[in-house]
């Protein structure tokens, strides 16, 4: 599942945000990928579309990297299952 989520992230970051594919790694921070606070809000909207999981504002507080977001989404998916 986590591998799939990483692939989803990669597609979104490349297609929607124009991040070069080579820059995208699980440990990359959104800041380092050139995303600002409004970009992260937009990212959560696209992620919700792709995964069905919505990350709320308070859940984003400690989400800094791609892996942080993957962990949070996985956690919510498992809780819902």
Partner 1 sequence: MNAPRNVVVTGMGLVTPAGRGVVDAWNGVLAGKAAATVDEELAAAGTPVTIACRVPAFDPDAEIGRGAKRRLDRFTHLGVMAAADAVADAGLGDPDADEPERIVATDPDLVGILLGSGIGGAETWADEYPRFIDKGPGRASPMFVPKMLSNTAAGTVAIRTGARGPNMTVNTACAAGASAIHLARDLIRSGSADVVLAGGVEAGITALSISAFAQMGALSRNPDPAAASRPFDVDRDGFVMGEGAGVLVLESEEHARRRGARLLATIAGAGASADAFHATAPPDDGGGAVLAIQRALDDAGIDPTSIGHLNAHGTSTPLNDAAEARAMRAVFGDHTDAIAVTSTKGVTGHLLGAAGAVEAAFAIQALREGLIPPTANLTTQDPEIALDVVAGEPRRVELEAVLSTSMGFGGQNSALVITRA
The answer to whether 22 is a known catalytic residue is: no
Which part of the chain contacts partner 1 (CB under 8 A), choosing from 4-12, 45-53, 60-68, 73-81? 45-53
Q: Is 36 in the site for partner 1 (CB under 8 A)?
A: yes
Q: How far, in Å, CA of 8 to CA of 11, rounded?
A: 5
Residue 68: both structure tokens together: 């942080």
Choice between 7 and 32, CB closer to partner 1? 32
Q: Where are the alpha helices (DSSP H) in the chain?
A: 2-15, 37-51, 66-80
Q: How far, in Å, CA of 71 to CA of 34, rounded?
A: 21
Q: Which of 29, 34, 52, 75 is the binder for partner 1 (CB under 8 A)?
A: 34
Q: Catalytic residue among 36, 62, 68, 71, which?
A: 36
HSE value, Cβ hemisphere, 13 Å, CA-based, for 37: 2
Binding residues vs partner 1 (CB under 8 A): 17-19, 34-36, 38-39, 41-42, 45, 48-49
């Amino acid at each position: 599942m986590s591998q799939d989520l990483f692939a989803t992230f990669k597609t979104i970051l490349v297609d929607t945000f124009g991040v070069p594919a080579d820059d995208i790694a699980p440990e990359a921070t959104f800041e380092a990928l050139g995303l600002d606070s409004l970009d992260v809000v937009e990212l959560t909207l696209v992620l919700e579309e792709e995964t069905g999981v919505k990350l709320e504002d308070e859940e984003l507080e400690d989400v800094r990297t791609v892996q942080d977001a993957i962990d949070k989404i996985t956690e919510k998916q498992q809780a819902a299952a």
